[in-house]
Amino acid sequence: MGLISSTKETKNSGRGMGFLFVFFPDHNNDDSPSPSPSPATTLFRSRSSRLLLSIAQSTISICILLLLLTLFLFTLSTFEPSSGFPAVSPRRFLLTRDVAGGARGFINRRNRYALQGMGTLFLRGTKSMHDLIVAHIPSDTTEDDLRLFVRLLHRSGVTSRSDVVLLFNSQRFNKLIEEENISFSKLVNLYRNSNQTETDSVWGFNLTRFTKNQLTKKDTSEPIWGKKTHRANNNESDELTHGSVVGFDVAELDPENSLSGFMDHVPVALRRWACYPMLLGRLRRSFKHVMLVDAKISLILGDPLTRVRNRSPESVLFFSASKHSSNKINPAVIIGGAKGIRRLSSAMHTEIVRAMMQQQQQHKRKSSVSESGVLSQLVGNVHMRKGFEVVGPSEVIAEASSTRNSAALSLKSRDIVQRGNSNHFDITATIMKRICSSELDSSVYSYC
């Protein structure tokens, strides 16, 4: 506190002494108490704190919402879509053609993925199968060639124990495959509702191949292809046993076209070896036996897989290319255990790349790599075939061209034949004519 004094005269006493005290606050004194805040200031600070707290809570809520939305979208992306138009990835050339419907719901009417977001499911089987047929369709295959292959595949009865995978590089055959599946369903229903028991011993359709397995314990396992569905309690579907038919574009299984750097144009016959490792790797432990077959030149009349059902999973059976050259392997048909075929495909892919690199170093033509030559070299090298067991080659697949005058009689005991070039024999016309000779069959196939 400050103190100021002054003197003052009075009338009564003359000159006198007086004191005037003036008090003022000392701002330099730190020990003095600070004034208490006003109510207005307190209210302002309280409102500011509540506003900051509200903003912080909103920010945290938005972050949590974005996190949950991201997790939800990620979860949806892992599910396999069942309908609609899927987004096309540059690494997946997906087929989007709808599968046509068939008699009594035998054919799946909706377009669906075959496996893990890839491929097209043309026909869903009744249960899981132990055997798999993988047929590649060369680029120069005609519609008549493929139609006969698929038709005989169903009529042979092999699809009662096997699933079928078709590998191609064009969607132009989708409609044809659907039509043959529909014809197969119509044929099954027609024979089941008829009393006819006598059929052509070679080309006739035998319904018991698709129903005889029902006499044993019922297998309720689901096919691995497509999305799992709840099977309806339908006696009609339970009476039948048939495999699935699916298709894959080679660009789905080999999106980088791994052989394109070594060859100007990679044919399906070579590119298929780059597709097998991915396909069979995803099907690991799903099948016991596998057959690789050329759909253009091969015709299946029975069940060729019977040759390897009692062999080890690593065994691979090869056919000879000709009677005069037992060392030359026929690449059109290869049968074996699933493990052996998978290891063979990986080794074959590596050997094709090695052969192409050697040609580049020797400045040879890029398109001169022979599939049969590379396969024969692989099978003949003991060090290269450590992962699989070689069986044969001792058997030669018969050519259909050698049966020009008596096709049905000569092929009666065959389960697989090949189209030949001798005498320009048209096996397609002969077989089609024989099939159309049946009254029931002719009412199913439109060409009859």
Residue 28, pLDDT > 50, answer no
Residue 132, pLDDT > 90, answer yes
pLDDT-derived band at 212 (thresholds 50, 70, 90) equals low
Residue 5, pLDDT > 50, answer no
Domain boundaries, the chain: 103-442
Average of pLDDT values for 91-108?
39
pLDDT-derived band at 236 (thresholds 50, 70, 90) equals very low
Average of pLDDT values for 253-263?
89
Average of pLDDT values for 54-63?
82
Task: Mean pLDDT check: name the lowest of 7-16, 25-34, 177-186, 402-411.
Answer: 7-16
Q: Which CATH architecture has domain 103-442?
A: Alpha-Beta Complex (3.90)
Q: Which residues contact 130 (CB under 8 A, 6 or more apart)?
A: 161, 287, 288, 289
Residue 44, pLDDT > 90, answer no
Average of pLDDT values for 294-303?
93
Average of pLDDT values for 238-262?
90
pTM: 0.73
pLDDT-derived band at 367 (thresholds 50, 70, 90) equals low
Distance between CA atoms of residues 314 and 340, nearest Å: 4
Burial tier of 85 (Cβ tally within 10 Å: 0-12, 13-18, 19+): exposed
Task: Mean pLDDT check: name the lowest of 5-9, 48-52, 290-294.
Answer: 5-9
Average of pLDDT values for 299-321?
93
For residues 129 and 64, which has the higher predicted lDDT (pLDDT)? Answer: 129
The residue among 296, 320, 306 whose CA lies nearest residue 375 is: 320
pLDDT given for residue 263 in this prediction: 81
Q: Residue 217, by phi and psi: left (phi above 0), alpha (psi -120 to 50) or beta?
A: beta
Task: Mean pLDDT check: name the lowest of 233-247, 271-285, 340-354.
Answer: 233-247
Average of pLDDT values for 115-135?
94
CB 135, CB 282: distance < 8 Å:
no
pLDDT tens string 187-201 = 999 988 887 655 655
pLDDT-derived band at 280 (thresholds 50, 70, 90) equals very high
For residues 177 and 11, which has the higher predicted lDDT (pLDDT)? Answer: 177
Distance between CA atoms of residues 374 and 354, nearest Å: 10
CB 17, CB 31: distance < 8 Å:
no
Residue 93, pLDDT > 50, answer no
Residues of the chain with pLDDT > 90: what percent?
39
Handedness of CA 116, 122, 126, 132 (dihedral sign): negative
Distance between CA atoms of residues 376 and 372, nearest Å: 6
Task: Mean pLDDT check: name the lowest of 137-141, 193-197, 320-324, 419-423.
Answer: 419-423
pLDDT given for residue 13 in this prediction: 41
pLDDT tens string 387-439 = 899 998 888 998 876 555 455 445 667 889 888 765 445 778 888 888 888 88
Map tokens 């314990």 to a residue: 217
Q: CA–CA distance from 72 to each of 77, 83, 87, 204, 405 (Å)?
A: 9, 19, 18, 54, 67
pLDDT given for residue 118 in this prediction: 92
